[in-house]
Amino acid sequence: MPSSPQLFVDLDWRGTTVTLRCSGVVDMLTAPDLEQQITGALAQNPSAMIVDLTLVDFISSRGLWVLLDTYKRCSPTMGFAVVADGPTTLRPLKLMGMTDVFPVRTSLTDALDDVAVPGRRTA
């Protein structure tokens, strides 16, 4: 019997900015784990949130929905960005038009620069 997909989420706080570094698979089985981590981080009132998908092997439509929902849950003055690069993560975000909704950057450095500007919510 094949093993269940796994998702690992590591929270990294830099001042009041939280980065959720994800690795593994974000699908219908693991998306609730990501949502739980996001909810916990949001409860600490960060000034900005970054979801780093560079180590994700697969993201399903359910995972993309979690990202969109997270963006909507962030306050208008809270910075938000997603880090994605390559066909596994960036391509689905582009195909679903999410790169037009919230900032998607190819490096964590670029995402940190984006959220450093207070109130920046542009894609």
Taking the CB of residue 123, how many other CB atoms lie within 10 A of it?
13
Q: What is the chain's mean pLDDT, rounded?
A: 92
* 121 occurs within a structural domain: no
| Cα 25 → chain centroid | 13
Residue 99 domain-assigned? yes
- The residue segments making up the domain with residue 38 are 7-115
In a domain, 122, yes or no: no
In this structure, is residue 22 part of a structural domain? yes
Find the CATH number of the domain harbouring 110: 3.30.750.24
pLDDT tens, residue by residue, 16-34: 999 999 999 999 999 999 9
**Band (1; pLDDT cuts 50, 70, 90):** very low
Tell me the per-residue pLDDT of 51-91, one tens digit each, with 9 for 90 and over.
Answer: 999 999 999 999 999 999 999 999 888 999 999 998 999 99
- Say if residue 5's pLDDT is above 50: yes
Q: Is residue 1 part of a domain?
A: no
Q: What is the Cα–Cα distance from 43 to 15, expressed in whole angstroms?
A: 15
- 57 found inside a domain: yes
| Residue 17 domain-assigned (yes or no) | yes
Number of domains in the chain: 1
